[in-house]
Amino acid sequence: MIVTKSGRRMFPTLQVSFAHLNPSLSYSVLVDLESVDDKRYRYSFHQSKWTATGQGEVQLPGRSFVHPDSPSLGAHWMRGGISFDKLKLTNNQLDDNGHVIVNSMHRYRPRIHIVCHSLNNSIHSFSFPETAFIAVTAYQNHRITSLKIESNPFAKGFRESDVDESTRAAFPMLFPLFSLTMPRSS
């Protein structure tokens, strides 16, 4: 995940849905980052893989991102998926914008906290290993760069051969859309 001094959004965005909350109780939802280990990582372009190298650095302020809908009733949280697209990461240890601070070339795992205000601020925490990432200051792997460029709307300017939606609509004969159906397996 790219981090900058001024703060960078995570992409793809962290999204969650909720079940079994009490619809009429008040909750807040927070995200923070857990250090997966105390190692510093290095990317070997030759072997196309990350390896843990030396001792990592400790980060001073372990900040958390409070979802802007907080606080809300359980009914609100369960209404649909919740997105953390406003969450920003920074490598600036002196950041005063309230962004989540990380060390570049270190590995992190997002953690989601549900605080129930109506129940003495009791907290339930969840984390998903598949959302772990390594913070970088510049992309190390071109396949990741491609993933971002192809799927992040803000990076559309770097796409090479994508056809504009209105152009496709105006000249359907030039940009036919074929649908492929896989044969059934028995």
Partner DNA sequence: TCTGACACATA
Partner DNA sequence: CTATGTGTCAG
Nearer to DNA, 114 or 136 (CB): 136
Which are the contacts of 10, defined by CB distance < 8 A and separation ≥ 6? 1, 84, 85, 87, 89, 133
Q: Which stretch, 23-31, 122-130, 145-153, 170-178, contacts DNA (CB under 7 A)? A: 145-153
Q: Is 28 in the site for DNA (CB under 7 A)?
A: no
Q: Is 39 in the site for DNA (CB under 7 A)?
A: no
For DNA, the binding residues in 146-165 under the rule CB under 7 A are 148-149, 152-158
Residue (of 80, 78, 102) closest to 91 by Cα position: 102
Which are the contacts of 169, defined by CB distance < 8 A and separation ≥ 6? none
- Alpha-carbon gap, residue 124 to 86, rounded angstroms: 22
Nearer to DNA, 88 or 107 (CB): 88
> Could you say which of 64, 137, 163, 167 contacts DNA (CB under 7 A)?
137
Residues in the chain, total: 186
Q: Is 83 in the site for DNA (CB under 7 A)?
A: no
> Could you say which of 43, 63, 70, 132 contacts DNA (CB under 7 A)?
43
Which are the contacts of 158, defined by CB distance < 8 A and separation ≥ 6? 149
Burial of 165 (0-12, 13-18, 19+ CB in 10 A): exposed
Q: Is 91 in the site for DNA (CB under 7 A)?
A: yes
Binding site for DNA (CB under 7 A): 2, 4-5, 8-9, 11, 42-43, 88, 91-92, 104-105, 136-139, 145, 148-149, 152-158
